[in-house]
Amino acid sequence: MEWKRDWGLTTRVWFTGLLLLLLYLVFMTILFSFGVGTWVIVLLAVGMGLFQYFFSDKMVLWSTGAKIVEADEQPQLYQMVEKLSREANLPMPKLAIMQSPVPNAFATGRSPKHAVVACTDSIMRLLSRDELEAVLAHELSHVKNRDILTMTLASFIAMIASMIMQNFFFSALLGGRNNREGGSWIVVWIVSIIVYVISTLLILALSRYREFAADRGSALITRNPRALISALNKISGRMELVPPQAKAKVEGANAFFIIPALSGNAIMELLSTHPPLEKRIANLEKVETELRGY
């Protein structure tokens, strides 16, 4: 399988990353100019980022209740993922099953060698074999693209801004800032809010681009984009029938899912972790045209 790169999508991903880097540099310059103890904040943010990077798989599995399964427990699923991993030139990931009426799947792990691919028992009943393969190939594409690392690095500046905002709030609440320092800290606080909002919007945009890339990767691995289109339509249609309390139980993993269980919470596309279904289908139809050679 030839892994054809979508240069338009790749350019958007790199441009978003560049904007985040520039935002980080400007923010650090402002903090240094106001004499903020930046290194302490940066070290704390680095520590949080490293913890998230190395333990994200365990945290997501714990929060969703997904359980690791062995080959003899789910032989058909194991064989399916093993075949797809060979097609994608990836090591075999760990597999996990999540008991939930929410039909969905996700991938986590800091690298291809430490990846976990999980799916709910309900999605295994809902989809055909080809559709399930397409969904699992989407998750393997996240692994191949190292999206956990990408999103961890992207969230670094947002964590710093968030920590400064919280520090200012609690210090002001406890009277920890004197009048002489107050003016400078108010400026830093306002700048932190602006940086946090901008970086969050950029991270959400990057997340949406990663979903487009994973959809494309699935189509290239399976050579069957139509199967993923069918799967996305089925999952989206069934999601409307899932009780709200069941969706609330998986809210913590919403950003990891192939289709967010709580997509209705996003006021607009700008605030969503996933692209609209219509745009994803249009993107997959474009890939289908490429695969047919015209």
Alpha-carbon dihedral angle through residues 23, 28, 30, 35, given to the nearest 10 degrees: 170
Q: Where are the domains of the chain?
A: 7-292
- Exposed/middle/buried for 188, CB within 10 Å: 0-12, 13-18, 19+? buried
pLDDT score recorded for residue 133: 97
Average pLDDT over residues 128-145: 96
Asked if pLDDT for residue 96 goes beyond 80, the answer is yes
Query: 147-154 and 179-222 are packed helices; what angle lies between their axes, rounded to 10 degrees?
Result: 160
Main-chain phi, psi angles of 154, to 5 degrees: -65, -35
Asked if 258 and 104 touch (Cβ cutoff 8 Å), the reply is: yes
Residues in the chain: 294
Alpha-carbon dihedral angle through residues 106, 258, 142, 75, given to the nearest 10 degrees: 50
- Rounded CA gap, 85 and 68, in Å? 18
Confidence of residue 10 (pLDDT cuts 50, 70, 90): confident
Asked if 86 and 64 touch (Cβ cutoff 8 Å), the reply is: no
- How many other β-carbons are positioned within 10 Å of the β-carbon of residue 173? 8
pLDDT tens by residue, 98-120 = 999 999 999 988 889 999 999 99
Confidence of residue 234 (pLDDT cuts 50, 70, 90): very high
The CA distances from residue 86 to 79, 116, 222, in Å, are 11, 16, 11
| Beta partners for residue 119, in sequence order | 97, 105
Asked if 140 and 88 touch (Cβ cutoff 8 Å), the reply is: yes
Catalytic site residue from 73, 139, 181, 240: 139
pLDDT tens by residue, 45-71 = 677 777 777 887 788 888 888 999 999
Pairing, β 94-98 against β 116-120: parallel
pLDDT score recorded for residue 1: 45
Pairing, β 67-69 against β 116-120: unpaired
Task: With CA atoms as reference, report the closest residue to 258 among 118, 85, 94.
Answer: 118
pTM for the structure as a whole: 0.84
* 139 counts as catalytic: yes
